Structure 1
């Protein structure tokens, strides 16, 4: 998101537990660079995860459709409102910025903590038709968020209460700077909704690609697989809404059958992945591969459509749906022990994300290997190429080399930003979690 208006931006330091850290935060104005440095220091020195929360004016125009809306009675909206109200009493900068009731709140989770959420879930999404661009809900051409703003500590206000209604009571962190606020429920719910929104963004992108591919292929079996997966969304959406309102999803939602369908699709993705890896292993190293040989194991790889590409998108869809389910399970697990919110959440999420991260990394490895292949014409009786053969080979080589575009092989963790738009009635929209550099 971009905010070109120069001014003072309140920033809160939110801890997920009682922590003891050196008084490194200070109480004076900070630049964006100084704030980034401070986050790094706190991530290393603090005993518990620490996030920062910035309050910016709400942009006049931006797309709310890609976020997850929560009404004013939801736990996240209530925690945010309480933090704003209490901090405004002791901070003129906070009172001025939040006086209108609406605003854009940007929570940044340090890389050290974000790594616990799984390496695959928090990658930037490339914009369709715009190579190299990051697709975010609040980004325009002007640059980074609040690049010209001055950040001022918002005081020692705290968001009272906790997810589940007990434990993890918010307050000022002991033995540390007065800036530090214990607000585990607020951080937990922001991360949960932001990660869920990010996974759903991938689902939407995969659906667009699959629909286009299947219209070309007319493969009924793949259409059925797609329909079964897409039918899981309703149960997941309902379960998400219930859990984020501190309820418990029942059997009537159909979440169990949805999870079964998703797990079946992941099993199919695993089997296809094994076949792809085996086919690549059988290719001679350092030699050109005949196009006909390649299309036997990867049907349609030389075309815009094709079964191989449909299989890739079905795997992406299954992974994105499973990631949303994993977040739901982690939230439910955390809420069952409200005295240990954040640790339960990250532990459950990290454990269950491991398989999905491994599957995505392996698929990425297949695409990178394919994109690096050198193609050769199919052996035949004619000693020379025809014009049609040359054209086909060149088109196929270009499309296969493109398979590696956008593949993320760097698993280094990065700071993660979660943006929350708050309306004057207290309701919020939480946007997909993205690398903070976006």
Structure 2
């Protein structure tokens, strides 16, 4: 069933500092394609990162359990509320779109900023609902929420604030170019919560996979690794809540011990990755290898619940937890210098994210190489093999070739979308960041 109703969606351009930008068609409606072109122009022409913020109608059904809830008193909710109030005073389109108090805000961060946040920070997560689908609360069950939207650029907010600090909201940009709304704290908090929610979603998925695999494998040592990593979640959740309320982290939270556990797990990932690379380097290019030889280097690779696959999920879990910690450290560092929060945030985040990106890309490269390995017939004196042996070899070949499916090895950054559901009471739920 097609929904032909046309929705007017206001779009704001937000800057993280005083910048000059190319002229915008203020008040003129545009299509989604034109809006994407506008983002590209802003990303190329502007001196500082410029993001866009859209206000969509809140869907009737939305899975809030996937996001991070923040009450109306949280800094992000306050920055957003102040911004909406100021915009509604100067724009009839914005006032109408936000009058109910319930909206789904969509902030799109340009790709060059996403690169600063880490190439592997955000990747598409395939939806179980259908092939090629991507998880996103913006597109509802009918897929028509924004299908017929007209996007209308909104002028700057009238009120002038400061660029940094806990009380910073919207402000006027420097004269001499198109005026943009300066909202560094709003952008900082939205990016921080969206990336953190994405990392936690990765953690949940990894835990589910590991639990399923361990039920088949019954390996105590790997179960201990899983338990130790998952035990870090409580400290990270508490630290996230405190920082998002602009509090200070203390030793009593246990974050230091959690970070030690995660770093230990990442060290194991590096060791295993080195062994996997060495084993693959020992296989001549285009040469066939016996399954017994391959399983010696990659135990359980031929089994859906083998140890190798648990090692892969443990690596994903460790990286996801570390990404959340890195975001926390970046937020804390940015808040310590409120004069330039976004610059500090991206600088701090980029340093550690590069290491995590290298680990993830290293594992991805191993999976791609493994998926191309050719299996040889088992050597032996028997000219004929039993049906069970043939079945095992065929199943193993299929599972090994499937290792490369859906693996990303280029790590090229894309625009990142962060969706925020706002309720009438001013509270918000921030959903995992996604490729725009």
Is this a same-fold pair by TM over 0.5?
yes
Deviation of the 1:107 alpha carbon: 0.4
Equivalent in the alignment of 1:57: 57
Deviation of the 1:145 alpha carbon: 5.7
User: 2:27, 2:154 within 8 Å by CA — same for their partners in 1?
Assistant: no
1:306 is the counterpart of 2:306: yes
Structure-1 separation of matches of 2:379 and 2:239: 56
What residue ranges of structure 1 are gaps of 5+ in the alignment? none
Give the 3-state SS of the residue equivalent to 1:411 in structure 2: coil
TM-score (norm 1): 0.95
Equivalent in the alignment of 1:165: 166
User: 1:21, 1:176 within 8 Å by CA — same for their partners in 2?
Assistant: no
What does 1:5-404 align with in structure 2 at a 5 Å threshold?
A: 5-128=5-128, 130-140=130-140, 142-143=142-143, 146-157=146-157, 160=161, 164-165=165-166, 170-175=170-175, 180-404=180-404
Structure-2 separation of matches of 1:374 and 1:410: 24
Alpha-carbon RMSD: 1.9
Equivalent in the alignment of 2:432: 432
User: 1:172, 1:178 within 8 Å by CA — same for their partners in 2?
Assistant: no
Greater CA drift, 370-379 or 99-108? 370-379
Structure-2 separation of matches of 1:171 and 1:199: 31
Structure-2 separation of matches of 1:359 and 1:431: 25
Deviation of the 1:55 alpha carbon: 0.5
User: 1:164, 1:246 within 8 Å by CA — same for their partners in 2?
Assistant: no
| TM-superposition CA deviations, 1:183-220 (whole Å, max 9, x none) | 00000100000000000010000000000111111111
User: 1:106, 1:417 within 8 Å by CA — same for their partners in 2?
Assistant: yes
Change (3 A) 1:4 1:318: farther
Structure-2 separation of matches of 1:427 and 1:15: 24
Change (3 A) 1:129 1:214: farther
Give the 3-state SS of the residue equivalent to 1:133 in structure 2: coil
What residue ranges of structure 2 are gaps of 5+ in the alignment? none
Structure-2 separation of matches of 1:414 and 1:12: 20
TM-score (norm 2): 0.96
User: 1:159, 1:186 within 8 Å by CA — same for their partners in 2?
Assistant: no
Deviation of the 1:389 alpha carbon: 1.3
Greater CA drift, 23-32 or 72-81? 23-32
Give the 3-state SS of the residue equivalent to 2:383 in structure 1: coil
Give the 3-state SS of the residue equivalent to 2:69 in structure 1: strand
User: 1:291, 1:376 within 8 Å by CA — same for their partners in 2?
Assistant: yes
User: 2:170, 2:181 within 8 Å by CA — same for their partners in 1?
Assistant: yes
Structure-1 separation of matches of 2:148 and 2:179: 22
Change (3 A) 1:126 1:339: same
Give the 3-state SS of the residue equivalent to 1:65 in structure 2: helix
Give the 3-state SS of the residue equivalent to 2:136 in structure 1: coil
Structure-2 separation of matches of 1:327 and 1:164: 18
User: 1:126, 1:406 within 8 Å by CA — same for their partners in 2?
Assistant: no
